Amino acid sequence: MFNQLFRSSYYVTKHINTPLLEERLNYLQYWHEAGKAHSTLTTIAQYLVRIVEYLQLDTTDIVTIEEVEVAADLWARYQSNNPQKKAAFSKTGKKRFIWYATHWLAKLCRLKRPVKTVIPVFQKIFVQSHTIARHSTAPLVEERVMYLQYWSDCGAVTSTIRIIAQYLLIIIQFLDFYQVRIVTLSEIEEAAVRWRRTRDPQNIHKKSKYSKFAKRQFIRNAARWFKMLGCLQETKQPISFEEYLNQYISYMRQEQGLSECTILSRFYQLRIFLTSIEQKQQEFTKLTPLIVDEIIIGKHDIDHHSRRTVQLYASILRSFLRYAEDQGWCPKHLASTIKAPRVYRDESLPSAPYWSDVKRLLANSVSDSLVDIRDYAILMLLSVYGMRCSEVTHLRLEDIDWENELIHLQRAKRCKPQTFPLSKTVGEAILRYLTLVRPKLRTSREIFLSMYVPYKLLSSAAVYQIVSKRLKKLNITIKHYGPHALRHACATHLINEGISLKEISDHLGHRTLDTTRIYAKVDLTTLRKVAEFDMGGLL
């Protein structure tokens, strides 16, 4: 191997004649299989020679960490005081000397670790003394302990923290992360690929126990850890006319007082609009009504969005261009030229599954699986009370009055409070989830949390996936498969049961009866009576 690493015969001979030849060759082979570059292997080989020399190693020596540190200090002083070597001496050379020495000697079982270096957090998650010592003496111990404490505060169990601690050592090794430095996402991904292809020759069982999700976990833990340390360089996608968009966002937040959810929704739409302008190689100051019309028409003809969606899109563009006109970014009267498609009131029918399908949906979700227990409680709230998605995700522990069997709800629109009697089946579903599934966290008061650490409030997208996945398994044909389909199903079921529009309006939290009146179109029972009405021979 030395003939491949060094061109000079002098260095080849020197490395061959240095003691512990076989041990050094095995260590270099280990790094070679880990995917290290030729230059890195050369550096490691040179460090091993210095380690043997300054520690005066023979075939039986047991070395303490204090001895390694003393040898590293002597070597560093020699390097920094030598005029021929001073210029090429790295500031991290001493740390690398210590790390390679401890790592190599530990693999040879010739490193005696002092008890005083043991970190308490590692004593809690590991049992074997040599494992505790290895994690306690590895580089960046303070940074690793901080990250592990973050996961502990998030409610992670001991087994999860143990796995994360092991990943951190692998990340340090395969990213050469022996001191805090700027790291890119591409570096992390390349290191994860190298690690994925690596198989430790001393562990023949490693390949069979390797998880198919391990690479993803490597990337996720590395990115989160580096982001916490403030050393992750994230690649940000450039946004067309970004300065205009940022200024308009500030205007929506400070002047208009819009919610963050509305601002985020408009941001995504406007980013697409501005990108379309740049793709047409148009300057914003020379924007014409023809270009805006082409973009709006493409929303319907190319992207196949509904007329209602295109109408909303046109409204967002009109508001933005009015602001742009006032700022002098585009020609005057451009916003007034935007024509949105006409959408007639109550022109469509609510798209909802039959109530029999909703019953099948709920029946299929009953099981002892922890995920099913949580999802069943969510589906019951959506189906029985016709809640909106955001109303379910923001439901809090104090909103359930178990003593009086009531459920207090803050409606998503106009934040109107509403109180319902707590149904027995819904109450049992929620209580089962709280008892068996929900993590016991004092910091979060929302009822429904994610299943895995870090535990956080369920997003609307997560609830959509829960409902959509289960509705599609029923093999039914409806227009939309999200949570709102269950709200429509609830309203349709109530009106077919003969409940008045006023009662349904109150149940769903509608502001006016006009919103509820659309469900009269699906009142099959009443419509059938009208169809069977005897006109007395008038027709």
pLDDT in tens, the chain (539 residues): 777 788 788 888 888 888 888 888 888 888 888 778 888 888 888 888 888 888 888 766 788 888 888 888 888 888 777 665 555 556 678 888 888 888 888 888 888 765 545 678 888 888 887 788 888 888 888 899 999 988 888 778 888 899 999 999 999 989 988 888 899 999 999 999 888 877 544 444 444 445 567 888 999 999 999 998 889 887 767 777 888 899 999 999 998 888 888 898 899 999 989 888 888 877 888 888 898 898 888 888 888 888 888 889 999 999 999 999 999 998 888 999 988 888 776 566 667 888 999 999 999 999 999 999 999 999 999 999 989 898 899 999 999 999 999 999 888 776 678 888 999 999 999 999 999 999 877 678 889 988 877 788 888 889 999 999 999 999 988 888 889 889 888 888 888 888 887 888 888 887 776 677 666 655 555 545 544 545 455 44
- Any idea what the Cα angle at residue 388 is, between residues 387 and 394, rounded to 5°? 90
CA distance 243 to 249: 10
Residue 182 falls in which region: left (phi positive, over 0), alpha (psi -120 to 50) or beta: beta
Please say if 493 is a catalytic residue.
no
Q: Please pick, among 519, 521, 528, 529, the residue that the annotation labels catalytic.
A: 519
Task: Give the pLDDT confidence score for residue 429 in this predicted structure.
Answer: 94
CA distance 1 to 42: 10
Q: pTM of this prediction? A: 0.63
Q: Please pick, among 94, 134, 162, 388, the residue that the annotation labels catalytic.
A: 388
Set out the domains of the chain in order of their start, with CATH numbers.
Answer: 2-233 (no CATH), 242-337 (1.10.150), 355-528 (1.10.443.10)
Task: Give the pLDDT confidence score for residue 488 in this predicted structure.
Answer: 87
Task: Give the pLDDT confidence score for residue 136 in this predicted structure.
Answer: 86
| Helix, strand, or coil (residue 233) | strand
| Helix, strand, or coil (residue 96) | helix
Please say if 78 is a catalytic residue.
no
Phi and psi of 418, rounded to 5°?
Answer: -150, 145
Please say if 507 is a catalytic residue.
no
CB 36 within 8 A of CB 72: no
Q: Please pick, among 15, 94, 103, 510, the residue that the annotation labels catalytic.
A: 510
CB 28 within 8 A of CB 41: yes
Q: What is the DSSP string of 406-428?
A: EEEEE-SSTT-EEEEE--HHHHH
Please say if 162 is a catalytic residue.
no
Q: Please pick, among 36, 487, 488, 493, the residue that the annotation labels catalytic.
A: 487
CB 197 within 8 A of CB 35: yes
Q: Please pick, among 374, 484, 488, 493, the residue that the annotation labels catalytic.
A: 484
Task: Give the pLDDT confidence score for residue 199 in this predicted structure.
Answer: 52
Q: Please pick, among 38, 77, 413, 445, the residue that the annotation labels catalytic.
A: 413
- Any idea what the Cα angle at residue 127 is, between residues 121 and 133, rounded to 5°? 60
339: nearest Cα among 280, 292, 284:
292
